[in-house]
Structure 1
Amino acid sequence: MRIVAIEEHYATPELLEATGLDLSWLPDDPQSRLPDIAGGRLADMDAAGIELQVLSAVGPATQDLPDSVALSLARRLNSQLHDTIATPPDRFAGFATLPTGNIDAAVAELEHSVTELGLAGALINGTTQGRFLDHPDCAPVLETAARLDVPLYLHPGVPPQPVLGAYYAGLEPPLASRMPATAGYGWHYETSLHALRLIVSRALDRWPRLRIVLGHLGEGILFHLARIEDMLTPLAST
C-alpha cells in the first residue's frame, strides 16, 4: 500500500517574515522544522513509511497580505516549490499558494502553477477578507480549478475577529482560548462549514468537475452526515 500525505506544510524565511507567523506556542517547535524539506523531513517520511508528501505553504500564506507583497511572494513560493519537489524525484508534490485577496491574480497564479510548474492543485486557508469560496467574487477560482481538473484543498484558517470574540474569548489561560479556536476544535468546524457552503450554494452543480479535498477525517462532516442529509437535502433540492 502506498502512503501519500497531503497536508504537509513548509515555510521559507521570506514567508515567515512577511506574515509574522509565530508558532512558538505550539509543542515540538514546528516553526524551526517548517523550512526543512530534504533533510529531517525525508528521514521522518522514511520512518513513517510515507512515500510521497504533497507540500503546501503554511497558512495563512499570502492570503492576508496586501497585493504589493502577496502577488510576487506567491509567484516566488510556487516557483521555489517547483524546484524543490524536483529533487529527490518521486518523493514530493505541491499545492500552489494563491493570493486570494486579489481574485484575478489568484486565477493567474493557479493557471501558471498547474500548467507551467506542474503543481497538483492549490490549498486555500479558510476565509479571505471574511469571504468563503462560495462568495460570487471567488467564482473565477472555482471555474479555473474545474477547467484545469485539479483539486482545491480546503484548509482551516484563523477565525475572523468577530468569530474569535463571540465564540472563544474569555477563556483562561490564554491558550485555552487559542487552541479551541484553532487546532483543538474550531478549525475543523470552520472547514466543514466551508465545504457545506460550497454544496448548498450549488457550486458543485455549476462546475461538476470541481474537486474539493478535506482533511482531518472529513472535518467532522461524516459524523454529522445523517443530520445534514435530513435537514439540508430537502431544502437544497427545492
Structure 2
Amino acid sequence: MTVPLPARIDVHQHIVPPVWARALARRGLDSGGWAVPSWSPSSAIAMMDEQGIATGVLSVTAPGVHFDTDQDAVALARAVNDYGAEVVKDRPDRFGHFASIPLPDVDAAVTEAVHALDTSGADGVVLMSSVHGRYLGDPDFEPLWAELDRRNANVFVHPAQPPMPLLPGTPAPLADYVFDTTRTALNLVLNGVMDRYRNVRVILSHGGGFLPYAAYRFSGLTSTVVDPARKAEDILRDLKRFYFDTALSASPSALPALLAFAEPGHVLYGSDWPFAPQDAGTYYNHYLETYPDYVPGQADAINRHNAEALFPRLIASPRPVS
C-alpha cells in the first residue's frame, strides 16, 4: 500500500504545553518514568510531513492535569486547553485537540468538558485511564459520562500509571500503561457505562492494551463466574463498542489480533509522538503499509476514513504537502 503524503489522521499525538511542562518540573514529575520531550507546532508538522500525517489530534499525556490539589488541576486544565485551542486555531488543517479534564473533581470535569466542547471547539476530551486509583467506570463519574453522551463526544482514553509501584527499571509506558488501559476498559463495561452511554465514541490507546487478545476471556468468565445474570454476548458487544488506535501496536502479532477483534471502522491511526520516537513511527508505519491481509479499503480506512467519521470537520480539510 502506498500512502499519499500526507494523508493520515493521527488520533494519538501529544502536545506539551509549556505551562504543563513547567508544572511537572516544579513537582519533579515526568510521564511514568518517561522523560517529557520538547515540542513545538513546527516540529510536529515536520514529523507529520515525514510520516504521511495530514492532521494530528493533540492531547496531553499522563499524568494528565490532576497531580496536585483539585483547584490546581482545574486551573491547569483550562490553561492547557486554551493553549491547545490556540494551536488548532493557527493551523486547523494540521491539528485537532482533545481537551484535558480535571477528574476526579466531577463538577469541575463537567464544567471544563462543556466549556471545551461548546466554547473552545475541542474535537473531544482526553481522560486518563485512572486518577489516584479510581477508574473511569467509577459510579461517581456518571454525571461526566451523561454530559459527554448528550454531546455525542469523542473520548480519548490515555493510560496512566496504575495505583502500584513501578517495576524496577521499567517505565510505566513499557508495561503498566497497556495494563491500565485494559483495566479501565473492562471497568467501563462491567459497570455498564458502555451500555448506558451509546452516543460517546471511546478511543482506547495502543490497540486497547491487551483487550482484543483477552476479550473472550473477559466475556466468558463474567457470564459464568462473576455475574451469571449477564450474557457473554452482551459483554462482548460492549467491549466491541470501543475504538482503538494503532500507536505502538501495528506489529506482526498485535495488528492481526486487533483487526480480528475490532468492529469495522473502529481502528484508527496513532503515532504517540513525541513520547514515542519518530523511529518507532517509521517501524510501525512500515508494517501498516505492508500488512498482507487487509480487506479492500481497510488500509485507507485505518489511515484516514475511520477518523473522518469521528471528526467530520476534517473530511474537507486540505491535505498539505508541507
TM score, norm. by length of structure 1? 0.84
Equivalent of residue 13 in structure 1, options 9, 18, 24: 18
Higher relative contact order (CA 8 A, sep 6+): 2
- Check the 8 A contact 1:52/1:91 in 2, yes or no: yes
Hey, what does 2:194 align to over in structure 1? Answer: 204
- In the alignment, structure 2 segments of 5+ residues that lack a partner are 232-322
Distance 1:116 1:99 in 2: 17
Distance 2:173 2:145 in 1: 26
- Deviation beyond 4 Å, 4+ runs, structure 1: 23-26
The answer on 1:146 being equivalent to 2:152 is: no
Hey, what does 1:108 align to over in structure 2? Answer: 111
Q: CA RMSD in A?
A: 2.1
What amino acid is aligned across from residue 15 of structure 2 in structure 1? Y
Report 1:1-238 matches (<5 A): 2-20=7-25, 21-22=29-30, 26=34, 31-33=36-38, 35-36=39-40, 38-160=41-163, 163-164=164-165, 169=167, 174-175=168-169, 178-179=170-171, 182-234=172-224, 235=227, 237=230
- Check the 8 A contact 1:63/1:125 in 2, yes or no: no
Distance 2:92 2:22 in 1: 29
- Report the identity percentage: 27
- Check the 8 A contact 1:66/1:101 in 2, yes or no: no
1:194-218 CA distance string (max 9 Å, x none) = 0111111111222221321112122
Sort the Cα spacing of 1:51 and 1:212 in 2 relative to 1 into closer, same or farther, 3 A. Answer: same
Distance 2:174 2:32 in 1: 16
What amino acid is aligned across from residue 65 of structure 1 in structure 2? D
Distance 2:199 2:183 in 1: 21
Count of aligned pairs: 220
- In the alignment, structure 1 segments of 5+ residues that lack a partner are none
- Check the 8 A contact 2:161/2:180 in 1, yes or no: no
